[in-house]
Structure 1
């Protein structure tokens, strides 16, 4: 791209603002939705983001929002627009619990405003609304504003950095206000129904009443409503039943849609084969919703009518509750630890970290986190020290540097609930987000204490050791497609909305080595997180380390890997087990509760630096502020900083890969052929076969371990039978001298020696290079 083109692209305005018929450079969201001038908002929008609502609409006294429908990509008839478009979208939204999730994501005060009827959100069950307009007024109606354009109630709509063009037209005190208000009342209002259903609001009110009752009794309760899965399941069943049995029939009775809609519902699956190229999950969901619509209408009547409410309810329940097999339901229940990060609810004056956990009865959330006393902080540090001393005493060839791996895992686990927030604060662009990995892998040798470390992490953060998930037993051995379903289960655990880490023991090597598993979970999850920051639980897992362990490069790029490759002394195993058992009896999560309050304070401070880089490796230290807090702990407790304290991010995967190739070169030097003209090395990777003593997977393991930056032609240099490697970069990487560089220097010096000798000495004293070298 030319410089001129780049400049014009950078100067091009993504969002076009017009205010009272005059083009203006820019209007902020706060200026557009000015709550100082206007107190009431009536909006018709395509998308509504909870964060946008919480940040920009909370100060309105009254809000009414109608949610429109996305435009269809394929032409549809009027009946198809109603059934395949509006009704299907409405049913899918309820089935996916989107109304409940939106309500839960609202701030506590906004939730109260919804319950009190001050804020309403609506949708059209059988009408496709593509309108977009926003009407603002003060209490008297003397001051009004109309906003027209393509924007939605999302921050992305107003983001100049998004590669999309938007129009924002603003008219103050214009006759357009009355025109569009009449449009809303006369044409839109009759087709709308509440997005937050009566069932949902009743459940929320019930939880609120329980919280108020416990609050009066002096109990510590939260100020936000989070509905449990069982409650939202029942809400979804009731709401889908209501949509079909009541709302569709009501629209028919009012003449908003014709009687033909029931026939369209019955025939909805006729041409289903035409759209089978959609994503498998999307197909599955649409099929379920389509069949639900079809089964809700009498099958053979000349004039199809809706079945009774009871029959529809039964069918809806069957559709939702039988979507999972008993095995899948059993696998889903293996993850039971929930910790919700809600930054909008932070109240640091009351030591509220913004983290919430379910109360003992599981009926509503309560705040998590509490500042500890100096004595409690000292006890917490001493407990961690006792753990570390156990490894120091019983691990063969233990060193403080090795101990830092265990300590680093503990620091990561403490930080885990906030990683998604740290990622957004530390990233200047989406790609930076990969420097804050959502995956910690402990590559460990059998007998190294890795499973014990995972249990210790669980105790230090959750005060239990029973939250571990065994990778191999998520599904029984005989389960068809066990590998795929296991990875899908892990993905489900991570995306429940909780930010407490998913602790997984004994992850099998195939997960890291086979692209369809590690790429799907690690790469795709990280790509989603860096582009759309939201709360996704980190995963902390162990895997057996041996000479064959490797990860795909793009997986390693997004994973924090710590290598624990030393074993506990076999002769002292009984004593070691007894020691660590006694230490674990003293562990609790008091220090973690204190830590989350202090970390929340740093996250709330705009002056906190989040982009700290290690001077040696150049890597972003995403745990820098965690280290800072722990250093403060030691100072507060008047304890010296231990020698196992991790000062920087470890780079164990890169070091493991370097060591692997260094050993290969030193033992197989003759297989590296020097390509003098290109200053490169050629290596026949097919020689890493079982006949030569290597494992069956060695070719891909070594290929994955070789950094792409030292390959000639980049990624292409790693492919095929012959790998071409940059000579100077390779020897610098493995830490060995370049023998070809030495030979070149010797030859050059030998060629120059006769001329130097002739000029400096008489002919009889002349000696060549080799003569001088050997005397």
Structure 2
């Protein structure tokens, strides 16, 4: 007597009544119905040959597999539908399916009686099967988690499936058929392309001429299927995608998504590698959980399995990696769905002191507390004002802007979703704030101050160079991996990173991987990823890759504290820091949460001068209200808009180069351009080893003739009028009537220079 439980895994409901299992040929009854329309996820040739051959007409759509969840609309087109279509053709799946069909079904396809289709730019998850007989008027609708393969109907296959059958439910049948014809049909293309069908028909025609005896079955050789695959892949991109853009089925800017499809490839590769390792670990765990040599293997004791599991979970990490992982310990979780302003819940949570459960974070402050907090910030700014050489209020805005950014940091991912009309806009709300600073400028102290103002401690800083010991193999790669791990812990409190080494910004495999790929992930899949606020040593040659700069908020802190007053400055700032706390930050999160919940809050506010989105605009409004409540005038160092220091730094870099190396810029009259031999920026001429790439990265692409190509190679070619306008210098190659003799025969007076150099030195 069998001890197996009586479990029904294939649940069939016929017109609302549970019914015993039906045979496949009873479900797809070709004697009662002669027309068949289906959207399925997988098709087996044997299934078609056995169960669908006797239908007079059949239309089968091969939809998408369940692999597009969590992807953006653009990614569904490029990374799911189009990628799957191209891979299917590259792997010759259509040709293999066609060859595996019976000769009669091949003939049905060639004669247009059977149609197999797919959607190269849309992911179709619909699953339904429509059977009908126009002569009798009978209809059948089959819904369920099944495909056109044997496994879907195997009750012993250790999978649970539902099959719902509705006979002669005309309303349901017509609804689905109309949906198919009007909504789905326009995005479909033949699965068996014209190239494939022409090759098949040619082979049949040749076979018919063979007097020694031909065959009605099509079997194509490799050379033919290779040629078909190449032609079909070309047609998918050049014809199918273009046609669906022309008919507005997909957006016209899909080409931008196609161009950017590889931008986060490194993260995808890492995810695949991680997934492979996890599978290997779990497979090994299964294997070792049973006795290895017994004839009838038994599962080991719970104690032994527990030890194996613990070992497996840490086996992929070295002690150094575990030590590096623990350096980030500051957690602030943003949960907008839990936000309840009536109960003073900002939606932010922190672990309780014991770390056993989360507790709400945020509390409205009194007017006197707000006043005291503003006074503490003012005392900080007075320190910079008093002890920094050549301090100005405009320079002080950088420090204040850093405070505003850190206050806003936990909500940046929410602000990004509200301020973006399309994914590309998301880059205007950067998840990275970098201070380009000289030694002795107080950059590390600034990090500690904003840590105190938000977290009430100065111990959250992570030193970039000591995440891993100096002797660690592949230290650079592992350091960036650790930072990425810190950012993706689920917390939205910023990672505070001190002394980031210049290679991170200048070498593609590091900054592009972390900054560019992370931002692309954030704009396509909004989530709470901790912002990064970091410092790096600034020298006259600091640059970032263009893609990195586009996604980074850069503030230049290049003035130093007076050496003669350092002792006094240290004592002053130490005393000020004793007064700092996060009372104002706790109040701020409540007010920002209120703005985020208000549908009338404007998030797309642009600076009229620079044209940039001011993603901190509402933060500025809250702080202005603080000064109003406290009865304090808004200080002159208050930042009114986004600072654009990277562009200014790049401009200064090239302005100085032109003014000191003017003879090296060769003018081409026919193109109105300047040619510059960038290889001259070498150590023999007094430049650093990295100067070539530093200057190349600092040159805006829009100034280059032929775009990015104008920046590559030994010579860079620059649009002369735009270049001189950018660096603020007179264009000596511009036709100027004042330089010609006037009617009296005397030359006009040479205008005074009002360019960068004149502004710099008066």
Residues 277 and 529 of structure 1, relative CA distance in 2, 3 Å threshold: closer
Contact 1:338 1:500 in 2 (8 A): yes
Residues 333 and 175 of structure 1, relative CA distance in 2, 3 Å threshold: same
Q: CA deviation at 1:316?
A: 1.8
Contact 1:151 1:158 in 2 (8 A): no
3-state SS of 2:500 partner: coil
Partner of residue 431, structure 2: 438
2:381 equivalent to 1:394: no
Q: CA deviation at 1:741?
A: 0.6
3-state SS of 1:500 partner: coil
Superimposed CA distance per residue, residues 2-24 of structure 1 (whole angstroms, 9 cap, x where no aligned partner): xxxxxxxxxxxxxxxxxxxxxxx
Within 5 Å, which residues of 2 pair with 1:690-729? 690-729=683-722
Superimposed CA distance per residue, residues 463-502 of structure 1 (whole angstroms, 9 cap, x where no aligned partner): 0001110111111111111111111111010000000000
2:440 equivalent to 1:481: no
Contact 2:41 2:64 in 1 (8 A): no
Contact 2:129 2:142 in 1 (8 A): no
Within 5 Å, which residues of 2 pair with 1:672-687? 672-687=665-680
Contact 1:442 1:562 in 2 (8 A): yes
Partner of residue 316, structure 1: 309
Partner of residue 581, structure 2: 588
Contact 1:151 1:157 in 2 (8 A): no
Distance in 1 (CA, whole Å) between partners of 2:612 and 2:371 is 31
Residues 675 and 316 of structure 1, relative CA distance in 2, 3 Å threshold: same
Q: CA deviation at 1:178?
A: 12
Distance in 2 (CA, whole Å) between partners of 1:461 and 1:663 is 39
Q: CA deviation at 1:170?
A: 13
Q: CA deviation at 1:152?
A: 10
Instruction: State which of 433, 443, 452 in structure 2 corresponds to 1:450.
Output: 443
Instruction: State which of 636, 645, 658 in structure 1 corresponds to 2:638.
Output: 645
Distance in 2 (CA, whole Å) between partners of 1:479 and 1:357 is 34
After superposing the two structures, state which structure 1 stretch, 340-349 or 478-487, moved more.
478-487
2:141 equivalent to 1:164: no
Partner of residue 243, structure 2: none
3-state SS of 1:520 partner: helix
Partner of residue 561, structure 2: 568
Q: CA deviation at 1:291?
A: 1.9
Residues 187 and 310 of structure 1, relative CA distance in 2, 3 Å threshold: farther
Distance in 2 (CA, whole Å) between partners of 1:683 and 1:699 is 12
Distance in 1 (CA, whole Å) between partners of 2:553 and 2:42 is 42
2:663 equivalent to 1:670: yes
Residues 390 and 159 of structure 1, relative CA distance in 2, 3 Å threshold: closer
3-state SS of 2:608 partner: coil
Partner of residue 284, structure 2: 291
Superimposed CA distance per residue, residues 276-316 of structure 1 (whole angstroms, 9 cap, x where no aligned partner): 99943233222222222222343334555544443333222
Contact 2:431 2:551 in 1 (8 A): yes
Partner of residue 540, structure 1: 533
Within 5 Å, which residues of 2 pair with 1:171-210? none
Q: CA deviation at 1:552?
A: 0.5
Partner of residue 740, structure 1: 733
Partner of residue 404, structure 1: 397
Instruction: State which of 483, 507, 513 in structure 1 corresponds to 2:506.
Output: 513
Contact 1:673 1:682 in 2 (8 A): yes
Residues 574 and 188 of structure 1, relative CA distance in 2, 3 Å threshold: farther
Partner of residue 492, structure 1: 485
Distance in 2 (CA, whole Å) between partners of 1:587 and 1:277 is 41
Superimposed CA distance per residue, residues 500-532 of structure 1 (whole angstroms, 9 cap, x where no aligned partner): 000011111111111111111111110100110
Partner of residue 616, structure 1: 609
Within 5 Å, which residues of 2 pair with 1:81-120? none
Partner of residue 374, structure 1: 367
Partner of residue 519, structure 2: 526
Distance in 2 (CA, whole Å) between partners of 1:277 and 1:570 is 47
Partner of residue 174, structure 2: none
Distance in 1 (CA, whole Å) between partners of 2:278 and 2:41 is 19
Residues 502 and 770 of structure 1, relative CA distance in 2, 3 Å threshold: closer
Residues 455 and 189 of structure 1, relative CA distance in 2, 3 Å threshold: farther
Residues 375 and 720 of structure 1, relative CA distance in 2, 3 Å threshold: same
Which blocks of at least 5 consecutive residues in structure 1 are unaligned?
1-69, 76-147, 193-275, 758-766
Within 5 Å, which residues of 2 pair with 1:218-257? none
Residues 659 and 316 of structure 1, relative CA distance in 2, 3 Å threshold: same
Distance in 1 (CA, whole Å) between partners of 2:543 and 2:43 is 43
3-state SS of 2:607 partner: coil
CA RMSD of aligned residues (A): 3.4
Q: CA deviation at 1:550?
A: 1.0
Instruction: State which of 326, 337, 347 in structure 2 corresponds to 1:333.
Output: 326
Instruction: State which of 634, 648, 652 in structure 2 corresponds to 1:655.
Output: 648
Which blocks of at least 5 consecutive residues in structure 2 are unaligned?
1-39, 46-62, 78-121, 131-138, 146-151, 161-268, 751-762
Residues 368 and 661 of structure 1, relative CA distance in 2, 3 Å threshold: same
3-state SS of 2:497 partner: strand
3-state SS of 1:519 partner: helix
Distance in 1 (CA, whole Å) between partners of 2:124 and 2:381 is 56
Superimposed CA distance per residue, residues 633-658 of structure 1 (whole angstroms, 9 cap, x where no aligned partner): 10011100000000000000000000
Distance in 1 (CA, whole Å) between partners of 2:694 and 2:585 is 38
Partner of residue 768, structure 1: 745
Residues 745 and 453 of structure 1, relative CA distance in 2, 3 Å threshold: same
Distance in 2 (CA, whole Å) between partners of 1:771 and 1:699 is 40
3-state SS of 2:628 partner: helix
Partner of residue 553, structure 1: 546
Instruction: State which of 464, 476, 501 in structure 2 corresponds to 1:471.
Output: 464
Contact 2:68 2:76 in 1 (8 A): no
Distance in 1 (CA, whole Å) between partners of 2:444 and 2:611 is 31
Distance in 2 (CA, whole Å) between partners of 1:641 and 1:278 is 48
2:372 equivalent to 1:413: no
TM-score norm. by structure 2 comes to 0.65
Instruction: State which of 580, 588, 597 in structure 1 corresponds to 2:590.
Output: 597
Distance in 2 (CA, whole Å) between partners of 1:540 and 1:648 is 19
Contact 2:65 2:125 in 1 (8 A): yes
TM-score norm. by structure 1 comes to 0.64
Contact 2:397 2:638 in 1 (8 A): yes
Q: CA deviation at 1:351?
A: 1.2
| Count of residues in correspondence between the two structures | 529
Distance in 2 (CA, whole Å) between partners of 1:73 and 1:484 is 44
Distance in 1 (CA, whole Å) between partners of 2:144 and 2:545 is 60
Contact 2:349 2:359 in 1 (8 A): yes
Distance in 2 (CA, whole Å) between partners of 1:313 and 1:585 is 48
Partner of residue 348, structure 2: 355
Distance in 2 (CA, whole Å) between partners of 1:149 and 1:700 is 44
Distance in 1 (CA, whole Å) between partners of 2:406 and 2:533 is 8
Distance in 2 (CA, whole Å) between partners of 1:772 and 1:295 is 91
Residues 279 and 161 of structure 1, relative CA distance in 2, 3 Å threshold: closer
Contact 1:416 1:501 in 2 (8 A): yes
